[in-house]
Amino acid sequence: MTPDNSVDKALLRANGLSASVYNRNRGREFHFFRNVSFHIAPDEVVGLVGESGSGKTRLGLSLLGLLREGPGLYAGSLSYRLSDAEPLDFSFQHNGGKKRGEPLRKGLAPVLGKRIGLVMQGAKSALNPYQTIGTQLKDTLALAGCPGTQIPVVMEQLLSAFSLASRSASIAHRYPFALSGGQAHRVMIALGFAMGPDLLVADEPTTGVDSPIQALILQHFKAFRKGTLGPPRHASRPRPSMLFITHQIDLMKGLTDRVMVMYAGELLEVFHTSQLGQRPHHPYTERLMEIANEAGGRAAVHSIPQIPGRMPVMYDPPEACVFADRCSLANERCRKEKPELVVDPQGQGVACHERH
Ligand SMILES: Nc1ncnc2c1ncn2[C@@H]1O[C@H](COP(=O)(O)OP(=O)(O)OP(=O)(O)O)[C@@H](O)[C@H]1O
Ligand code: SF4
Ligand SMILES: [Mg+2]
């Protein structure tokens, strides 16, 4: 069933969100992202795609109050409508203080790891080094409200789904230091699923793994969404929503409902996944698609050497179109006037003077 992804049903709504970190050596702010607005509906999977350094991880972390660098969010607002929880609303204002993120961190604390989950980029360092994998999985499932009798069953299901247990051996008794990078990566995803959250932010869960494992992980994300993998959900709760972060646009088909394209800390386009390649896209989205096609769907799009120019340095982000230096369609207006991302009621939009 296609989710109702209209903005008034949003489970998460971000409005004009901006974040930066103050660099003492330079005496200036480095902008992670600016004026980002979007929503995610219940039971909706939204992809966030863009090159390395575009701000995807910082945006994902900020939604969970986990932006560690300096003051963090300085403008905009965030609203959460999670099941069985009070509405949570936060707004951010630049006040020069050092603890701008504190109310968000405190406000989200009761729902983090329960209604909101995270699969972090760089898995190994994110696991608790003092507890075995089995204990971490068990505690996570208990915290998520999984009935005690079900915990061993779901643990077994998750461990075998991610090839972490066989008849002869399970990694449940091991500590994180004894895991390979690939195992730690899969444990991190299994823990994200074990939380049984309403919203799961998954940051590059398929990066750095070979094709068969990538296919397996994608299959499990689909199963988690359907409710056939992970802890049982009460019938009154919607299926989980996800923000799926990747630099591979070709992974979006079959998993996401909508795609957001990020570049230099700005959202340049939002579209329904079914429209991928079927509508006029932002020139940057087109480049990402071309590169994915050239690589036959196996692209690791870490940079775009085919396009002359580089991503703007975010100490001094352009006030006009951020993609102008690399865009073959750029004209005088593009270098003077910032194209706004106007998202229509169906949840689609392009920030480009030449594409609508
Ligand atoms: N403490 C910091 N000070 C200055 N710049 C930082 C700091 N932390 C991160 N950055 C920069 O912020 C930018 C956005 O980083 P982020 O990790 O969000 O990018 P990303 O899109 O997730 O990239 P990747 O695909 O490589 O994971 C990058 O250019 C990064 O180098
Ligand atoms: S606004 Fe101009 S420079 Fe920017 S992407 Fe569109 S055509 Fe290119
Ligand atoms: Mg990242």
Of 91 and 298, more confident: 91
Q: How far is the CA of 327 from the centre of ligand 2 (A)?
A: 6
Q: Which domain holds residue 128?
A: 116-196+199-236
Residue 309 pLDDT class (50, 70, 90 cuts): confident
Q: How far is the CA of 155 from the centre of ligand 2 (A)?
A: 49
Indicate the residue type of 290: E
Give the domain CATH number at 172: 3.40.50.300
DSSP structural state of residue 93: -
On whether residue 23 sits in a domain, the answer given is: no
Q: Report d(CA 319, CA 30) in Å as an integer.
A: 15
> How much is the mean pLDDT over the chain?
88
Q: How far is the CA of 330 from the centre of ligand 3 (A)?
A: 28
Rounded mean pLDDT of 30-58? 95
Residue 21 near ligand 1, beta carbon < 6 Å: yes
On whether residue 267 sits in a domain, the answer given is: no
Instruction: Give the pairing type, strands 88-92 and 72-80.
Output: antiparallel
Q: What is the residue-wise DSSP string for 301-352?
A: -S--TTSSS-PPPTTS--SS-TTGGG-TT--HHHHHSPPP----TTS-EE--
Best CA proximity match to 204, nearest among 141, 277, 292, 118? 118
The pLDDT score that the predictor gives to residue 24 is 86
| Ligand minimally distant from the alpha carbon of residue 282 | 2
On whether residue 154 sits in a domain, the answer given is: yes
Is 296's pLDDT higher than 80? no
Which residues sit opposite 79 in a β-bridge? 13, 89
On whether residue 8 sits in a domain, the answer given is: no
Cα–Cα separations (whole angstroms), residue 270 to 37, 118, 253: 11, 22, 14
The pLDDT score that the predictor gives to residue 304 is 53
Residue 185 near ligand 2, beta carbon < 6 Å: no
**pLDDT tens-digit profile of 144-200?**
889 999 999 999 999 999 988 766 678 899 999 999 888 899 999 999 999 999 999
The pLDDT score that the predictor gives to residue 294 is 79
The pLDDT score that the predictor gives to residue 96 is 54
On whether residue 159 sits in a domain, the answer given is: yes
On whether residue 338 sits in a domain, the answer given is: no
Residue 22 pLDDT class (50, 70, 90 cuts): confident
The pLDDT score that the predictor gives to residue 137 is 95
Residue 283 near ligand 2, beta carbon < 6 Å: yes
Rounded mean pLDDT of 235-243? 92
Is 201's pLDDT higher than 90? yes
Residue 191 near ligand 2, beta carbon < 6 Å: no
On whether residue 333 sits in a domain, the answer given is: no
Q: Are 186 and 137 a contacting pair, CB within 8 Å?
A: no
**pLDDT tens-digit profile of 330-346?**
999 999 999 999 988 87
Share above pLDDT 90 across residues of the chain, in percent, rounded to a whole number: 63
Is 120's pLDDT higher than 70? yes
On whether residue 181 sits in a domain, the answer given is: yes
The alpha-helical segments, DSSP class H, found in the chain are 56-63, 102-108, 123-126, 133-143, 151-161, 181-194, 211-226, 283-294, 332-336
For the purposes of burial, counting CB atoms within 10 Å of the CB of 342, is it exposed (0-12), middle (13-18) or buried (19 or more)? exposed
The count of domains in the chain is: 1
Read off the pTM.
Answer: 0.93
Is 259's pLDDT higher than 90? yes
Lowest mean pLDDT among 1-10, 104-113, 239-248, 339-348: 1-10
Residue 32 near ligand 1, beta carbon < 6 Å: yes
